[in-house]
Structure 1
Amino acid sequence: MKLYFHPMSGNSRRALLVAAHLEVPLERIVVDLPKGEQRGAPHLQLNPNGLVPVLDDDGFLLWESRAIMQYLAEKTPGQTLFPADARGRADVNRWLFWCGAHMAPANTVLVFENFVKPLTGRGPADPAEVARGEALIAKHAPVLDAHLAGRTWVSQDRLTLADYSLAASFALAGPARLPIRDYANIRAWLGRVQELEAWKRTAPPVPPPASHS
């Protein structure tokens, strides 16, 4: 299987985390996002949305990070990241969809403004966008923080795809200055995820910011 990805992409990180956890061998092909390679015709043939990651399993092209997570789990006998029973699977899916609809988009605003812009020399953060991102996090983070009270993991009392999906959206919490200091349950849970071998093995190198000289 081939994975077209970028090491700084949170969406790519989701696929990498599951592959690392399940020890699924992947041929990794970097798509140069800063140079716009994702918008070129060759990549658009893989994913018409012009995004990463894309999984190529012997000609079966699959995009959308959470669909890739589920597919890798489904193909791995004996895995426990994605439950087999209907209620367990629905609960994990609930958090996958919630992450995609609410938490990840909220975090992405500040990742772009506070991390991507300075990294790529696109100028200073837009105060209005920063305020919008902080407001979105203030709306959604309390839901996750309250849910994690008294829990070690997000779903099923064990590590699942839900943890990897959500944690990937917080991967750049420090450099993106995500306002999560007051959410002790989220921070404790993130600490547990960051101790996992799959997390350590998929950590991207953080390059220095672009020079403005």
Structure 2
Amino acid sequence: MRLYYHPASTCSRRVMLAAIHMGTPLELTEVNLMSEEDRRRLVALNPNSKVPVLQDGDFTLWESCAIMQYLADRTHGQTLYPDNIRVRADINRWMLWSAQHFAPALGVFAYEHIWKGLIGNGGPDPVELDRAGRLVAQFAAVLEQHLAGRDWIVGEQVSLADYAIAAPLTYIEQARLPVTQYPKLMAWLARVSQLEAWKQTVPVW
């Protein structure tokens, strides 16, 4: 299986976290997102022009959470995505919650404080940061409440849900993500950061 990815992409990191944790072998192809030629090739794989993209023979799959689930189903003996239908439903719920609510709000901070300047689009927009800040506060409070009395998002061990939610927090310092005031969230993130998969996928600046 081949993964088209970029090491700075938090969505790519989601997939890498799961693959490394499960020991799932992947052939990696880095996509230069600043290259027009690489972008053209990427659109041929994913019409949304985004990474990551997985190719497994003649099957092409995009959307990071879908790729994570597919890799788990392809990996014998993995524990990140148990067979129990209710446990899977719970994991799916949190992965979708991250993709739909939490990650997009965090992504505004990453764009405004990191990527926007790198691509020459000026400085941070305070209106956008204020809007996103209200959303982060809303959803971080949900996560903080959920983590009361829990070490992991679902069940008694790390799952795909933890990696799906943690990856968008990668740039917590550089993007000035407004989450440090949530002690349970921060304690959970500290646990994730001690996992070998997390250590092996830290972006190099």
TM-score, structure 1 as length reference: 0.93
- Secondary structure of the residue aligned to 1:180 is coil
CA deviation profile, 1:97-133 (whole Å, cap 9, x unmatched) = 1111100111001010011123334321111111111
1:179 aligns with 2:178: yes
Aligned Cα root-mean-square deviation (Å): 1.2
1:149 Cα shift?
A: 1.1
1:38 Cα shift?
A: 5.7
Match of 1:147 in 2: 146
1:36 Cα shift?
A: 4.6
Q: Is the 1:55–1:62 contact (alpha carbons within 8 Å) kept by the matching residues of 2? A: yes
Match of 1:14 in 2: 14
Match of 2:23 in 1: 23
Match of 2:49 in 1: 50
Change (3 A) 1:35 1:130: farther
Match of 1:211 in 2: none
CA deviation profile, 1:52-80 (whole Å, cap 9, x unmatched) = 00001112111000010001110111111
Q: How does 1:1-213 map to 2 (within 5 A)?
A: 1-36=1-36, 39-40=39-40, 42-206=41-205
- Secondary structure of the residue aligned to 1:129 is helix
1:204 Cα shift?
A: 1.3
How far apart, in 1, do the equivalents of 2:19 and 2:172 lie? 23
Change (3 A) 1:37 1:174: farther
Change (3 A) 1:102 1:36: farther
How far apart, in 1, do the equivalents of 2:90 and 2:29 lie? 32
Q: Is the 2:32–2:39 contact (alpha carbons within 8 Å) kept by the matching residues of 1? A: no
How far apart, in 2, do the equivalents of 1:38 and 1:193 lie? 32
How far apart, in 1, do the equivalents of 2:38 and 2:94 lie? 28
Segment drifting more, 81-90 vs 26-35: 26-35
How far apart, in 1, do the equivalents of 2:39 and 2:125 lie? 25
Q: Is the 1:38–1:50 contact (alpha carbons within 8 Å) kept by the matching residues of 2? A: no
How far apart, in 2, do the equivalents of 1:32 and 1:133 lie? 28
Structure 1: tracts of 5 or more residues without a match: 207-213
Q: Is the 1:110–1:178 contact (alpha carbons within 8 Å) kept by the matching residues of 2? A: yes
How far apart, in 1, do the equivalents of 2:116 and 2:72 lie? 34
Q: Is the 1:4–1:54 contact (alpha carbons within 8 Å) kept by the matching residues of 2? A: yes
TM-score, structure 2 as length reference: 0.96
Q: Is the 1:38–1:52 contact (alpha carbons within 8 Å) kept by the matching residues of 2? A: no
Change (3 A) 1:34 1:159: same
